Amino acid sequence: MGTYVIDKAHSEAAFQVRHLITKVRGSFSDLEGTIQFDDAKPEQSSVEFKVKTGSVDTNEKDRDGHLRSADFFDAEQHPEITFKSTKVTGNSKQLQVTGPLTIRGVTKEVTLPVNFMGFAKDPWGNQRAGFETETTLNRKDFGLNWNAALEAGGFLVGDEVKVTLQIQGVAK
C-alpha cells in the first residue's frame, strides 16, 4: 500500500458543459487530496479529495464570477467540492471508485471509472502514480439550477456536465 498526495501542479480537475450551441470548458486550479493505492489488492485502496470552488477558471472573468456566485457554486457558502471513497472494486488498471460527492452542500453517491496510468520516478527520485477518470454529472442533481430560457426555445446552459480528472500523486 502506497500513500500518494495529489500534486496539483501536475493534476487537473476539468469540466465542459453546453452553452447555447457549443461547449464551454473550464477547470479548477486548486485541488488537494490523498490516495491510498495497493495495485496488488486494489479493493484496499481509497481516495479523498477536495476542489476549491473559488478556483474555477473558464478563461472568462465575468463568467468565472457568475460561476462563483450563488447562482452556481456559491463559493462563499460552499468553498469546496469533496469526495471520499467508500468502496473500490476492479483490477489494478481499471477501478470503480464509489463514494459520496458533495457539491454546493448536496451529497450524492457516485461511482467513478478510474484508470490507473502507472508508476514513475521523477528526476528527483520521487515515486509518482497517475490516475484518470471521466464521468458525466447532471448539475441539477447538486443544486446548480440557474438557467435562462432562450427565445427560440431551450435553455442557455445544458444540464449534463462532463467531468475529467487527471491526477498525479507523489509518494508520501
Number of domain units in the chain = 1
Over residues 135-159, mean pLDDT = 91
The amino acid occupying position 157 is: V
Domain that holds residue 91: 2-171
% of the chain with per-residue pLDDT over 70: 100
Backbone angles phi, psi at 49, to 5 degrees: -145, 160
pTM score: 0.93
Pairing between strand 31-37 and 22-28?
unpaired
pLDDT of residue 151: 81
Q: Does residue 92 carry a pLDDT above 90?
A: no
Three-class SS of residue 8?
helix
Q: Does residue 105 carry a pLDDT above 90?
A: yes
E strand or H helix that includes residue 68: helix 61-68
Rounded to the nearest integer, the mean pLDDT of the chain is 96
pLDDT of residue 152: 78
Q: What is the CATH number of the domain that holds 82?
A: 2.40.128.110
